[in-house]
Structures are given as C-alpha cells and as structure tokens.
Structure 1
Amino acid sequence: MTAEDPHLLSTPELSVVVPVFNERDNVAPLVGEIVAALRGKLPFEIVYVDDQSKDDTLAVLTGLMAGTPELRVVQHVKQSGQSTAVRNGVKAARGAWIATLDGDGQNDPADIPKLLEARETADSAIKLFAGWRVNRKDTGSKRWASKIANAIRSRLLRDETPDTGCGIKLFERALFLDLPYFDHMHRYLPALVKRAGWQSVSVPVNHRERSTGVSKYNNLGRAWVGLADLRGVGWLIKRSKVTATREVARP
C-alpha cells in the first residue's frame, strides 16, 4: 500500500466477485460502475473470474488493472461454468463478505450499498441478502420461465425466496465456502443457507436490459438442468442435520 493509493488495504471489507464469459464490451462499464458505487465508502476489491472467454475479455480486464487498483483477475485454465467461477472467485477473495454480480451488466452495482445497509440492521442469523428483481427487463419468455421455475422451487424447497436467479447477492464468505458445492449451486443459495441453519432475506433491486453481447442460457436448457438440481437439493435438505456445539471448559 502506498500514499498514492489510500483506498487499498491488505484485507478489504468487501470483495465483489464477477464471473464472465465472452463479455468484452460489458467489462469496462461495469468495473467503472462498481468503483463509482463503492470507492470512498469502504475498503473493497473486485475479483473478476474469466471462464476461458473466446473473445478478448481477458485482455480488456488486464488493461483495466493498471488504472483500477482494486481490480484482480482470475482465469480458469478450462471452461467450467458460472457456479465454478463464482466459487473460485470467492475462494480467491480476501474480504469477509462477498457481493456477486452477473457480468452482463444487467445487475446494477449501485444496489450493493443497499444490500450493505440491509445487513447493518439485520439479525445476526441472516447471512445472505439476495437481490429481488421486482421489475425484470428480460424477454417475456424468460420472465415467464423464471416465474414458473421460482414457483416450483419455492414449493418444493420451501426457501421462502421469490427470485433465486438474481445475480446480485451479498453473503458471508465463510458460510458460502462451507456449503455443498455442485454445478448451478448459485441458483439455490437461499435453500442451501437455510439447510446450514442460517437465514436469508430478499431485497428489491434494479434490473437492466442487456446492452451488448448475448445470453449464455436458454429456457429449455435451464429447465432440464433445473429438474435434476431440484431433486438433488431436495435430497440434501432431507438428509441434512444441523447440530449446535459447545466447547467444554477445562476443569
């Protein structure tokens, strides 16, 4: 740390984790928005995880590092998907709390302070603050597919969460790394947090249209994967057992 970079600390309070794949035109605007939302408010870092992009996303990120001291970049050695990118970003992060954003720019970094404010007044048992896209800017087919999927998931898992697919979330790093890992786990965080004996709360957030690039998912693919995941998460919940412990005092 130098006098020229007073906002840099060896241990930031917050790490913003952003997974990306082929998002070269969205990288610079989103990094700028994250910096604008957080610089001067608390010590933070930005951890981008490039999932072996086929375009020059990595080159754009590398170029931004010189002018953005908070920015760190992690690259997968092979393409592994969004959940793995999120998990590896959290593992690389140094902050005790993690904020996640999708790399397509549809999440608004200005909502991160709102999640932080919600944390300040929340019960200590709440370890996940999940964004809730009350006014989604996706296509009609995506909105309907998400509505149906959320209804089915909520009924089966009883996670009491209206929107698990929203990419902007705030959670405790230690808790996240203690959760069972599997592909697409990022869509089931409220249920997994509840399974671990903690609570989550949904916070209304802004949602924006994708301005550039293309979506990496389609409704049919999500549906097939979602059915298998629902069965798996349901099994995890059914087989889980959370037991409090206490250390016995030395006589």
Structure 2
Amino acid sequence: MFLSIAIPCHNEAGNLDLLLDEIVAAMSGRDYEILVIDDGSTDNTADIIRARAKTLASLRFLQHDKAAGQSAALRTAAFAARGKILLTRDGDGQNDPAYLPQLADALTAAGESYGIAAGQRLKRTDTRLKQLSSRFANGLRRAILKDDTRDTGCGLKAIYTELFRRLPFFNGWHRYLPALVLREGYHVTHIDVVDRSRRHGQSKYGIFDRAAAGILDLIGVWWLRRRCKRVPEVQEISLDK
C-alpha cells in the first residue's frame, strides 16, 4: 500500500535533516512519499528541503507563503497526498518515526470500520506544568466528546486520506481527529508511543494560548458532533423492464 507521510515545519531547520534520515530508515521496504510542508519558515528550512530532494526521490516540497499553523499545513498535505493512508508527525523530532509503519499496520489490521490509528504518548518529556495542563485538557475533552482517546496531542497518526479530506476543517482540528473521525461513523484504534525530547529550537505552543483556543475548539467540536446527520448510502434502482 502506498503511504504518504506529512511533516508540517515552521523553523525546524535544526531538526529536519536527521528526521528525514530516521524516516527513510523506518520506512525501509515500504512504498511511500514524504511531504514536507514549510509553513512560512524564516530560517533555512527551505534550503535543507531542496538539498535533500536531490538525493531523496520520495521527498515532495510544499510551501506556504506565510505561516498558517499546523492544522493548515496538514490540510495542505491531505489534498496533495497520493497515498491511501496519510501518516502525520510533527517536525520537531519528538515523534519517533519508528512508529510510522506500526500505525499504518494497526489501521489496516483493525478493519474497514476503523478510520484512524492514533499514537498515545508514554514517558512525556515536557515540563511538569505542561504535563499537568495536558492531562487536565485531555480529561475534559474525553468527558465531553467521548472520543476514548487518552492523548490527542500526539502528532503520530495514521488516517485514510479520503476520510481526512472529508473532515470539517478549522484551526486546531489536528487535536480533535479521533472525535471528528467518530463523527463520520468510523472507529478509532490506538498504539502507545514513547515521547522524545526536542533536539533543536523551541516549542511553537504556550500553555495559556493553547488553553484559550482549546476551550472554543472543544465547544465547536461538541456542536459539530451533536449536529451531525448521517448521509444515507444511495443505490440507483434499475427500471429496465
């Protein structure tokens, strides 16, 4: 099965070279493409991508003219992807690429009624304050959305590309993919992944700005799920006599 790997990047020049090497090693024997989405970087991220493309045939370069955020970058990848399954991961190197083939296998093994395989982080490397705030946010989300996912903030996911394209888009949707997939009538499967520390650069998210946006997003996703109406399957009946 042909797979697409999406890597949203904003000023991740220090992490990208090693990350691409790790992906190539992890995906050995698989048929895949790598889509790097440069989300308005102001460092030399674009130069690194162009240099690697000379020797890495599977690499594709998508560039935003200005920073639009991780959700927009993943949407760009979803509509450009050629693979049946889209594998997502963050560009900061914290998500270990070794789990990418495991996610693809978990999704296909789960069966046709499953739409996404989501990674759930163990041994978090964030500060204690970030861990506590994340635990509270995840608990609140699970209580309201009933998405049965312990950790939606993990960037490692495998989702069918056509399904991803159908999901309602909004800024922050990448944190609610399990709930949005459930809304479409599919199930969610999970695998545990081990978190790593960021090698270079700084996190693009703070605790309080994420919390403020997260409350509005949570209300919005709850409303979307409540207002969802199943689209019936349509069969044309032959009128030949």
Residue 46 of structure 2 corresponds to which residue in structure 1?
58
Taking the TM superposition and a 5 Å limit, the aligned residue runs for 1:160-179 are 160-179=148-167
State the identity as a percent: 42
SS of the aligned residue for 2:120 comes to strand
| Partners of 2:181 and 2:108 in 1: CA distance | 19
Say which of 12, 16, 21 aligns to 1:32.
Answer: 21
Q: Is the 8 A contact 1:156 1:234 kept in 2?
A: yes
Q: 2:15 is matched by which residue type in structure 1? A: N
Q: CA deviation at 1:49?
A: 0.2
Residue 4 of structure 1 corresponds to which residue in structure 2?
none
Residue 35 of structure 2 corresponds to which residue in structure 1?
47
Q: Is the 8 A contact 2:40 2:63 kept in 1?
A: yes
Q: Is the 8 A contact 1:111 1:206 kept in 2?
A: no
| Partners of 2:91 and 2:164 in 1: CA distance | 20
| Partners of 1:120 and 1:72 in 2: CA distance | 25
SS of the aligned residue for 2:87 comes to strand
TM-score by length of 1: 0.93
Residue 111 of structure 1 corresponds to which residue in structure 2?
99
Q: CA deviation at 1:246?
A: 3.3
Q: Is the 8 A contact 1:28 1:60 kept in 2?
A: yes
Q: CA deviation at 1:113?
A: 1.7
Q: Is the 8 A contact 2:106 2:189 kept in 1?
A: no
| Partners of 2:46 and 2:109 in 1: CA distance | 38
RMSD: 1.1
Residue 123 of structure 1 corresponds to which residue in structure 2?
111
| Partners of 1:61 and 1:138 in 2: CA distance | 28
| Partners of 2:81 and 2:108 in 1: CA distance | 21
Q: Is the 8 A contact 1:129 1:202 kept in 2?
A: yes
CA deviation digits over 1:186-210, x for unaligned, max 9?
0000110011111111210121001
Q: Is the 8 A contact 2:117 2:188 kept in 1?
A: yes
Q: CA deviation at 1:87?
A: 0.6
1:97 aligns with 2:97: no
Number of corresponding residues:
239
Segments of structure 2 that go 5 or more residues without pairing to the other structure are none
CA deviation digits over 1:104-130, x for unaligned, max 9?
000000011211221242121111000
| Partners of 1:63 and 1:145 in 2: CA distance | 39
SS of the aligned residue for 2:125 comes to coil
Residue 88 of structure 1 corresponds to which residue in structure 2?
76
Say which of 5, 9, 13 aligns to 1:16.
Answer: 5
TM-score by length of 2: 0.96
| Partners of 1:243 and 1:183 in 2: CA distance | 25
Q: Is the 8 A contact 1:51 1:85 kept in 2?
A: yes
Residue 186 of structure 2 corresponds to which residue in structure 1?
198
SS of the aligned residue for 1:201 comes to strand
Residue 212 of structure 2 corresponds to which residue in structure 1?
224
